[in-house]
């Protein structure tokens, strides 16, 4: 979808003398903020058979453009008659209104223009040399031809059109091989299923683990306080900061406890 849409073009001062300036009231909407200018052009096609006869009548820059609806008056000088082939000065030609962003044309509005003498006698018996000051133009304003072209309004972004995702610093972590893990919402089990929430963690037998205050020994007695816990050989256990798994890694914090059974 285009970031800019023309909602209306009103052709003013029409019909008019050939040498009068062109006047358009252009209304458009911008759907996303654009930090660079929109370039509006008005081009007169001098000859259908020779592109070199095309004349750029006016080019204006509008911007930066924020989200919203806009309207402005676009005025342009008439074409230079000396650059138009004599045989193409009378009859039907084309007028093009275009808009570009960062050198990329994304919309073109074409109008047929009928040039003829303002006097019926001159129309029936045209002079050998065109009397340009007696020529009147009539833009067929009710029959525009609109052509749209897809462009990239944000070429500075990556190829997929979005901003690269970056996790907050306090969530940044790495796997053992140095790779970044997927975002939290993408963590899944090996079978592709989402893991249960912490409140649903159960033992292998399907029972909920008892709360910390309910942990008891097999004989029903409360376990001694941490300071009284001793190993089987009677030695005091190492402080919490020194507890490691058999492979030397640090155990997960208490909030992540997932062991099959609580040891007492």
Per-residue pLDDT of 119-176, as tens digits, reads: 999 999 999 999 999 999 999 999 999 999 999 998 876 445 444 333 333 333 334 4
Range of the domain at 90: 4-148
Question: Residue 107's beta-bridge partner residues?
Answer: 99, 148
The pLDDT value recorded for residue 116 is: 97
Query: Quick check: is 190 in a domain?
Result: no
Q: Domain total for the chain?
A: 1
The pLDDT value recorded for residue 207 is: 54
Q: Please give the structure tokens belonging to residue 137.
A: 């133009």
Do residues 34 and 64 make contact, with C-beta atoms less than 8 angstroms apart? yes
CATH number at residue 91: 2.60.40.1490
Query: Quick check: is 56 in a domain?
Result: yes
Secondary structure of residue 188 in the 3-state scheme: coil
The pLDDT value recorded for residue 106 is: 98
Distance of alpha carbon 61 from alpha carbon 37, whole angstroms: 6
The band of 215, judged by pLDDT with boundaries at 50, 70 and 90, is: very low
Sign of CA dihedral 166, 169, 173, 178: positive
Over residues 199-218, the mean pLDDT reads: 48
Query: Quick check: is 128 in a domain?
Result: yes
For residue 77, report the phi and psi dihedrals to the nearest 5 degrees: -70, 155
pLDDT, tens only, 1-52: 789 999 999 999 999 999 999 999 999 999 999 999 999 999 999 999 899 9
pTM: 0.60
């Amino acid at each position: 979808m285009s970031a800019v849409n023309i909602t209306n073009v009103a052709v003013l001062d029409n019909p008019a003398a050939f040498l009068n300036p062109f006047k358009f009231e252009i209304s458009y909407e911008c759907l996303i903020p654009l930090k660079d200018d929109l370039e509006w052009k008005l081009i007169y096609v001098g000859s259908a058979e020779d592109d070199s006869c095309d004349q750029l009548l006016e080019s204006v820059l509008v911007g930066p453009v924020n989200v919203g609806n806009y309207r402005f008056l676009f005025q342009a000088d008439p074409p230079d008659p000396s650059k138009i082939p004599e045989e193409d000065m009378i009859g039907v030609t084309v007028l093009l209104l275009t808009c570009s962003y960062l050198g990329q044309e994304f919309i073109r509005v074409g109008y047929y223009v009928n040039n003829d003498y303002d006097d019926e006698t001159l129309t029936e018996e045209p002079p050998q040399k065109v009397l340009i000051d007696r020529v009147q133009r009539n833009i067929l304003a009710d029959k525009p031809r609109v052509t749209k072209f897809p462009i990239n309004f944000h070429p500075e972004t990556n190829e997929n059109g979005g901003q690269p995702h970056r996790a907050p610093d306090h969530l940044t972590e790495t796997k053992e091989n140095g790779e970044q893990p997927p975002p939290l919402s993408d963590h899944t089990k090996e079978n592709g299923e989402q893991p249960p929430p912490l409140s649903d963690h159960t033992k292998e037998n399907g029972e909920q683990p008892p709360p910390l205050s309910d942990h008891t020994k097999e004989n029903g007695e409360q376990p001694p306080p941490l300071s009284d816990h001793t190993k089987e050989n009677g030695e005091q256990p190492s402080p919490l900061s020194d507890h490691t798994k058999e492979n030397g890694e640090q155990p997960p914090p208490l909030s992540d406890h997932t062991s099959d059974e609580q040891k007492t």
